[in-house]
Structure 1
Amino acid sequence: MAFRLRVVPETTNFDFFRAQWLTFGGSMILTVVAIVAWIAMGLNFGIDFRGGTTIRTEATEPVDVGAYRDALSGLELGDVAVTEVFDPNFADDQYVAQVRIAPLDGQESVSPETIAQVEENLRQISPSITFPSVESVGPKVSGELIWKAVLAMVAASVGIMIYIWMRFEWQFAMGAVIAIVHDIFITIGIFAIFQIKFDLTIVAALLTILGYSVNDTVVVFDRLRENLLKYKTMPLKDVMNLSVNETLSRTIMTSGTTLMALGAMLIWGGDVIRGFTFAIFVGVLLGTYSSVFVAKNLVLFVGLDRSDKPKKSDKNEFANVDA
């Protein structure tokens, strides 16, 4: 007999509304806290959004952040930030740092001559130092990137809302969009609270979260629509509980395997993609949670007109489209 591993029992009967004041209410509170943190603390924008120059250094001697700052203090530079980069994959004699330099007031960028002088000063305190990468972005370009990132997020959310609306009902569309906005805002709030660098790779991660979150939500909504037709007299809350229980195994297995891959990338993937991986890791957790505890609660709160549900399903050309 073949062995089958079951993470979740074949039949479950969890009441996902039992502590909704804690699950759903807590999510709403966390969303507000994330927005407040975002506004109050701001984001630690990377070079993509701030403009300026980022110099990555590598040396065989340990990084002395204070010495690096002292070496650059005599130069005519804008704001300078020196941070040491840690990674378990680095060799024992590999020490990495990032030097971020903002342009002076009235200048759009750091000149090549200034960058050369920075490198020369750093060589005087660390003879083995090398400069694997130098990235420069002007303020005009960085402003355009911020605007385009916002447009990308809004366009993706609107597209998802239209798709859900056509496939199901407007209540489902509203629940799905608010759930993914919940995921995005909390993820951004975490980046604001811990001042993790926020650059274009994080925007790509947020767009990935949008797709992953709505995929989980559509699976639950699809089963809910089937059960609404099957159990026409069952209370809406009970039909929702049944639908989530029936898709729980699929949800946990999909999210679990995704998180295993992301966890490996987070630990061993290196510092270059760590922010990107961390954003997706948090987003997958939040997306799974919102599919179970947020999206359906919003639909229940708004309510559904179940009296003409079969009639609508027959006329809606999108009703039978496969997910």
Structure 2
Amino acid sequence: MLKIIDKWKIWFSLSLIVIIIGIGCMIYRGGLNFGIDFKGGTQVIFDLGNGFNKAQADKIVNEYVNDATTNTVNSNEYEIKSANLTSEQVNEIFNKFKTEFKVGDKALISQNQIGASIGKELTDNAIIALCIAFICMLIYIAIRFEFKFGLAALIALFHDILITVSVYAIFNITVNSPFIAAILTVVGYSMNDSIVIFDRIRENMKFIKRTSPREVANKSVNQTMARSINTTSTTLVTIIAVYIFVPSVRDFAFPLIVGIAAGAYSSIFIASPVWVMLKDRSLKKGKRKKEVVVEELP
């Protein structure tokens, strides 16, 4: 049997290294690389025809703007988002597209200005949604299991969010609105993974009495590890395939890949050790109280 809980310092250190590097990158760069959904900017969509060469289109765009993010939509539409794209630059890019891709004047489908206030409203609503979700999950787990399980699960969720944000900070990936949706999805998925392990711990505690929380947790994690890894692997294969073959949803798929992988890691290597620490601390307090009561008895 693998002694997962006994090596908690290793698991915590691995996560801390990633998070600290991510925080360092954010401090060095002055924050995350927010896209126009948060900072505001210009969104332009062109119809360049089926099977157009995206790399060639990207090369043309990069001649005019350095901060642009581009996507392929429905195999024929090409989307550009940039905080510094002017109308003159759009016209120059469009003229180049006409020459390179042999498109007409109607190839420019839309050109929109996105205000930063939309991103702020989206962020505020996402934070409120996360807080409500955390409170509801904590109440549910406290009633269904016990409060310590809920607290350990929430710590694991914060870990998953921090890891995902850190990866974006380390690689300077643009953060747009799909990132928020992906984070909310990861929270639900990670919680489900942790509950499976906690449910096994609760069942084992009924049948394995006079055993330390550490031993119960080790046995439970070993019993559910194969299930967690298989489920996560199946999910990741599907999302990676979507990321590769459906470019239009990559902004949503990539944080899902990072978050779900982090969730599988945290449910095994973070949530369970945290629960053991909380349980051991509670048992020690209980013993101290009993010792005090015994000493006070005449």
For the criterion TM > 0.5, the same-fold answer is yes
User: 2:38 matched to 1:49?
Assistant: yes
CA distance in 2, matches of 1:66, 1:119: 9
CA distance in 2, matches of 1:31, 1:162: 28
Partner AA of 1:192 in structure 2: A
| Equivalence for 1:233 | 210
C-alpha contact 2:149 2:198 (8 A) present in aligned 1: yes
1:154 alignment partner, one of 116, 119, 131: 131
CA distance in 2, matches of 1:175, 1:292: 11
| Equivalence for 1:121 | 92
Pairing 1:16-31 to 2, within 5 Å after superposition: 16-31=4-19
CA distance in 1, matches of 2:6, 2:147: 26
| Equivalence for 2:80 | 98
1:298 alignment partner, one of 271, 274, 279: 274
Distance 1:101 1:239, change over 3 A: closer
Pairing 1:165-184 to 2, within 5 Å after superposition: 165-184=142-161
CA distance in 2, matches of 1:47, 1:213: 29
Q: State the identity %.
A: 32
Pairing 1:65-84 to 2, within 5 Å after superposition: 65=60, 68-69=63-64, 81=66, 83=68
- Normalization by structure 2: what TM-score? 0.79
Q: CA deviation at 1:158?
A: 2.4
| Equivalence for 1:277 | 253
CA distance in 2, matches of 1:123, 1:296: 55
- Normalization by structure 1: what TM-score? 0.73
Partner AA of 1:233 in structure 2: R
Distance 1:264 1:124, change over 3 A: closer
CA distance in 2, matches of 1:156, 1:81: 38
**Mind listing any 5+ residue stretches in structure 2 that lack a counterpart?**
285-298
Q: CA deviation at 1:35?
A: 3.5
Distance 1:274 1:210, change over 3 A: same
Pairing 1:198-217 to 2, within 5 Å after superposition: 198-217=175-194
Q: What do the CA deviations read for 1:184-227 (whole angstroms, capped 9, x no partner)?
A: 11101111221222111111100010001010100100110111
| Equivalence for 1:32 | 20
Q: After the TM superposition, which of the residue ranges 248-257 and 139-148 deviates more from structure 2? A: 139-148
Distance 1:44 1:238, change over 3 A: same
Partner AA of 1:121 in structure 2: E
2:121 alignment partner, one of 144, 157, 169: 144
What secondary structure, in the 3-state scheme, does the structure 1 residue paired with 2:5 have?
Answer: coil
CA distance in 2, matches of 1:171, 1:39: 33
Q: CA deviation at 1:37?
A: 3.2
CA distance in 2, matches of 1:67, 1:219: 48
**Mind listing any 5+ residue stretches in structure 1 that lack a counterpart?**
1-12, 70-79, 104-113, 308-323
| Equivalence for 2:296 | none
CA distance in 1, matches of 2:116, 2:251: 23
C-alpha contact 1:84 1:96 (8 A) present in aligned 2: no
C-alpha contact 2:36 2:116 (8 A) present in aligned 1: no
CA distance in 1, matches of 2:91, 2:221: 62
| Equivalence for 2:293 | none
CA distance in 2, matches of 1:280, 1:184: 11
Aligned-residue CA RMSD in angstroms? 2.8
Q: After the TM superposition, which of the residue ranges 183-192 and 60-69 deviates more from structure 2? A: 60-69
CA distance in 1, matches of 2:255, 2:61: 30
Structure with the larger helix share:
2
Q: CA deviation at 1:95?
A: 10
